[in-house]
Amino acid sequence: MTIVRLGYAAMSVNVKNASPSQTMTHAQFMKIQDRDAAIKKLERIAVSNITNCLRLLRHNAAHDIAFFRLSSKLIPLANHPDLPEWNYIKPLKDVFRSIRSYLNSHPHMRLDFHPEHFVVLNTPNGDVFKSSVRTLHMHKLLLIGMGIDPEHRCVIHVGGGYKDKEKALEQFVNNWGDVPVSLQNMIMLENDDKTFSMRDTLYLCEKLGVPFVFDYHHHLANHEDGVKWEEEWSRAVNTWKYSKLPVKVHMSSPKSEKDFRAHADFIDIRRFLDFLHHVKGSVDNLDVMIEAKQKDEALFSLMKDLKEAGMKQVDEASFYVN
């Protein structure tokens, strides 16, 4: 038997006016002639974003959702080279304290990040690599500020193929030694939908001791001929053997056959049930991050479909697979 928990990413379609991703562009920042006033505005936006995170966590708890992806846009311009003097963590101490207090009373909640596509650790460009490391360090500071153990809390893609995928994989290995150990310990790697397949990513995860996050939709869009994910699943599970957290997967459905890589509004129950059929019993607990345009509504809809399909519910956001 496997207990599956469902989660969703970044924001709710049901909780109104609660975006954790409000922003200010660099151009907007530069238009404010008083630099101190401009920084204060950035800080107000960041406080509002993190306050909205707390609203979302309360919403999640009310519906038994214990798995949630935090927005990576919590602090606008946090690592911008034009603001090297800005200590963006200091003004957030009070709102961080509220998050820590809430999570202390809800210790079963799993929160993590998915830094944006510009975090590229296999880049041959030294400046891009340094910027990627700075962004990962920002995520670490945010996790620590919220009282979350940073270990295995940031999932990233392998990076660019640079017209030579094998060389790009080895570039990742070479660059890995220049990533601080504290940041290495945060990272999980995910297969992508264009370049690095499940098999490619597993190669890195096994070589470097990094947990592998299987993205089912990406595998459908990008895999070697004849490679079946079911035959690689035990390898994926094995990459989590030293983690304190359950195995994590990403689940989304194609928007259409023509626009196959894009995410649909909801989850295709047939494909999800097929996935569950193959993984049931392989692990005791499995966390499934839903990547659908309708966010938490897609989760609620999927739970309704699963109940109609005969799955036994644990609560509003988790169920047993026998």
Span 117-130, mean pLDDT? 96
Give the type of residue at 206.
Answer: E
Question: Is 229 contained in some domain?
Answer: yes
What is the token pair recorded at 11? Answer: 């924001």
Residue 170 domain boundaries: 19-246
Question: Is 118 contained in some domain?
Answer: yes
Question: Is 37 contained in some domain?
Answer: yes
Give residue for tokens 């919220």. Answer: 146
- What's the structural domain count of the chain? 1
Question: Is 252 contained in some domain?
Answer: no
Q: Where does the pLDDT of residue 200 fall: very low under 50, low under 70, confident under 90, or very high at 90 and above?
A: very high
- Categorise residue 162: left if φ over 0, alpha if ψ from -120 to 50, beta otherwise: left
CATH of the domain at 23: 3.20.20.150
- Closest Cα partner for 278 from 240, 245, 237? 237
What percentage of the chain carries pLDDT values higher than 90?
A: 98
* Chain Cα centroid distance, residue 303: 21
Q: What is the pTM of this model?
A: 0.96
CB 272 within 8 A of CB 313: no
At residue 79, the pLDDT reads 87
Give 81's Cβ-side CA count (13 Å radius). 5
Question: Is 318 contained in some domain?
Answer: no
At residue 71, the pLDDT reads 97
Span 36-50, mean pLDDT? 96
Span 18-42, mean pLDDT? 95
Question: Is 277 contained in some domain?
Answer: no
Question: Is 253 contained in some domain?
Answer: no
| pLDDT (tens digit per residue) in 166-182 | 999 999 999 999 999 99
What count of other Cβ atoms lies within 10 Å of the Cβ of residue 112? 25
Question: Is 299 contained in some domain?
Answer: no
Span 233-257, mean pLDDT? 97
Burial label for 199, CB within 10 Å (0-12, 13-18, 19+), is middle
Q: Where does the pLDDT of residue 231 fall: very low under 50, low under 70, confident under 90, or very high at 90 and above?
A: very high
CB 216 within 8 A of CB 270: no
Instruction: Output helix, strand, coil percentages for the chain, rounded to the nearest 5.
Output: 45, 15, 40
225: helix, coil or strand?
A: coil
Residue 121: pLDDT above 90? yes
- 3 state SS for 135-148: HHHHHHHHHHHCCC
At residue 182, the pLDDT reads 98
